[in-house]
Structure 1
């Protein structure tokens, strides 16, 4: 990253433990329901290779066209930290850096996301902050729905083999 950067921060508290939060970011079936998903779009592709050097691509089909989100994992320390290089265009050479830190908080956890972006994109800082806030709140909604489903249907958390 160039020396002239902007760092924005968003944070959110969850009832779920750090490992659950961490795993959700790296599981394509869960991530497709909150990561870069917009209210008027539909995630049509969620490929995640959860290893250092592994890549991800999330494609959200929106009324204005497909939005591509690409990244490369730089650091993975389960269950506390995920760092990735991020861009919204496949060939964007000014790849931003995103750090996700997850700390225990009582029986739940607190996620702090830091996005370091080139200062030339300063006019998008607030929109970017709103986007990340939507994402981390979407994760909370997804986890609450999943927990509620498991409470009302205890077998939902078991594998098919365990139920047979």
Structure 2
């Protein structure tokens, strides 16, 4: 859960707008964002690619539910370019509720392997921090 000082529609739209999403979605401090393609419709897909050192991290999304500005549900998997194992699909649910100071975002990630729970939690914590910076400090 993360409180964000921005209206729910602004927070929600950032997830589906490539110009904003490339600033926070799977972006790491030392990485270089190479692609952020989003087909923002139910059944649509997204591909976010970031260069991390000499490798490329590919993040795939398939949108299952888009209920603006309250709820976003997508299938998710990630892999490094060139891997033969493309990773298993998991499900991410984003719920956004209005608060007196903006929004409360609750993220649920189902299907994460036990061995990856800690790093997955750290990753989403970083992403939500970057999301807050993106929507609180920009005029998009």
The alignment's TM-score, normalised by the length of structure 2, stands at: 0.91
1:111 to 91, 94, 105: 105
Other-structure match for 2:68: 78
Structure richer in helix, relative to its length = 1
Q: Which of 1 and 2 has greater Rg?
A: 1
Q: 4+ residue stretches of structure 1 with deviation over 6 A? A: none
Residues 11-160 of structure 1 aligned to structure 2 (within 5 Å): 11-89=1-79, 92=86, 94-118=88-112, 121-146=113-138, 150=139
Which consecutive unaligned segments of at least 5 residues does structure 2 have? none
Q: Cα gap change, 1:41/1:93 in structure 2, threshold over 3 Å: closer, same or farther?
A: closer
Distance, in Å, in 1 between the alignment partners of 2:133 and 2:25 is 12
Q: Cα gap change, 1:30/1:71 in structure 2, threshold over 3 Å: closer, same or farther?
A: same
In the TM superposition, what is the alpha-carbon distance from 1:117 to its structure 2 partner? 1.5
The alignment's TM-score, normalised by the length of structure 1, stands at: 0.78
Give the number of equivalent residue pairs. Answer: 136
